[in-house]
Amino acid sequence: MNAAVLEKVQVWLNGNYDEATKEAIKNLEKENHTELEESFYANLEFGTGGLRGIMGVGTNRINKYTVGMATQGFSNYLRKTFGDEEIKVAIAHDSRNNSRFFAETTAGVFAANGIKVFLFESLRPTPELSFVIRYLGCKAGVVCTASHNPKEYNGYKAYWDDGGQLVPPHDKNVIKEVEAIAGVDDIKFTGGESNITIIGKEIDEAYTEMAKGLSVYPEVIAKEHDLKIVYTPIHGTGITLVPMVLKAYGFTNLNVVEEQATPDGNFPTVAYPNPEETATMSIGLAKAKALDADILCGTDPDADRVGVGVKNHKGEWVLMNGNQTAVLACAYMIEARKSKGIAQPNDMVVTTIVTTEMINEIAKQNNVACYNVLTGFKWIAEKIKELEGKENYVIGGEESFGLMVGDQVRDKDAISSVALMCEMAAFEKAKGRSLFDKLIDLYIQYGFYYENLISITKKGMNGQKEIADMMTGYRDNPPATIYGSKVVTLLDYELQVGKNLLTGETFPITLPKSNVLQFITKDGSKISARPSGTEPKIKFYFSVKTTLENRDEFDEKYAGLQAKIAGIIEDMQLK
């Protein structure tokens, strides 16, 4: 075994680590050298969003000590930033195995550093954590979750005083402080227990009241209160708030998927607790079909992602993709606010660079400002903060099944999104239509946009290098054509430069640096390449469009757009 790994193992065996941890390491020494090496060969990186990894002993795993080091570094940065001011932080956790333990560990370290902690009494959704930071005037927050990852994972998302995840300069500065923690003896685990306050019901009620205020047409809900809703929390935190918020909205016919209603970190009914996956939503789809429901909604374990199922134009139950859900939500908030007479001249919506261009088109045709930011809701939150008092944020969304309605939560929020989607379904039902009917109408009005993505993994030791070489090749020698259409624009977010490939003219990109490349073709297609920062993976996002004259053309045009993306993938040799 690698000498550096053996040295780390000895540090843990001889240091001030608990006996259960040492015993687990000794068992790995006897029984599983591969796992031992995996657990210690690297230090689990505190990235710009926090920690995420497999649970277990060792420097490369999520455990009491890696969580403790992260929290000690975060505490040190808060102290340096706010000095003698009173510092308050909020802490929440999801349903994953050990999440409560990690949340209590985090609370203990903050408290031992003289920081006032508000710890939720039991599991709560990530968006409620974002909400409570602003509601209680906290300087920061943490939620212990690994979002939609498999059951072996857990994580630690770090938030700042605006309720958004860390952005520059705080993200990099916190990373430096975490990396400066030399070892277990630098962590204060105990001694501040009196600084911890348990919170719960009162925050649930405040959040619910806030979410209820996002409704545009409560009078429509009153008429369609018996809208048949099927909801699955997929063994996660959504069960704590979704029923409460839907009841506050006035909905009276909620049918929870009982097989997935109980919070359970083993996620016994699914392989991946991700509402993007058809298999994950299959039990909900079956229940929706059996009940002849009007809408199906599902939320991931920390309830920041929402999946939506509806009946299509043929009466078949289908899951919408994240772009379709975002298009419906953004169009509703823009159009409904206008028709209700509550739209403001300075209304704005925000989306991301890999999300459908259709949102930009809807905003443009309705004279609403639309901003495009880097991937991730922390950048949407940052845009809101930047324009606070100047422009009125209405809604934001991205392709990865995330929506954020109103500005009192500064991260993607599946709780308020479920309520909004149900209100939209009620609004259409009152007109004798479905959400899918509305989607087709939007395609006719604004253009038929269709998106898809693929993720390519390069395995082995050279995986990261192969992906880096791929990006270098695209930068140095961008394709002249893609699937028969000339590439007219190259956008390089790492170099922060855009280039007109027809004229050679360049122009600056003002967004922060990010290793993303985009190719825009003459026919309006957009292809984005975005490597993962932590895994040997690269995602390719495809957006194509056409016109839709009438509903009768839908199936033919839809098949054509699907075929076009398949052709682009083949032409770019991405299989």
Alpha carbon 409 to chain centroid distance?
13
Give yes or no for a contact between 73 and 181, defined as CB atoms under 8 angstroms apart. yes
d(CA 177, CA 187): 12
Q: Choosing from 39, 147, 215, 400, which is the catalytic residue?
A: 147
Q: Are 291 and 240 in contact (CB under 8 A)?
A: no
Closest CA to 168 of 374, 387, 370: 374
What are the φ/ψ torsions at residue 271 (nearest 5 degrees)?
A: -80, -40
CA–CA distance, 487 with 150 (Å, rounded to integer): 38
| Known active-site residue 147 | yes
Beta bridge partners of 527: 519, 542
Relative to beta strand 196-199, strand 254-256 is unpaired
Q: Where are the alpha helices (DSSP H) in 447-573?
A: 463-476, 554-571
Contacts of 252 (CB under 8 A, 6+ apart): 225, 226
Count CB neighbours of 470 within 10 A. 17
Structure tokens at 501: 């490939």
Handedness of CA 272, 275, 279, 283 (dihedral sign): positive
* Other residues' Cβ atoms within 10 Å of the Cβ of residue 411: 26
Count H helices, E strands: the chain?
Answer: 18, 23
Two structure tokens written together for 572: 């770019």
Write the CA distances from 283 to 28, 203, 297, 559, integer angstroms: 38, 31, 12, 27
Per DSSP, which regions of 458-564 are E strands? 481-482, 485-492, 497-500, 506-508, 517-521, 526-531, 537-546
Cα-to-chain-centroid distance, residue 7:
37
- Centroid of chain to Cα 355: 13
The two structure tokens encoding residue 562: 């699907």
Q: How far apart are CA 449 and CA 357, in angstroms?
A: 8
φ, ψ of residue 354 to 5 degrees: the values are -105, 10
Structure-block tokens of residue 345: 């001249």
Give the up-direction half-sphere exposure of residue 93: CA atoms within 13 A in the CB hemisphere: 24
Active site residues: 147
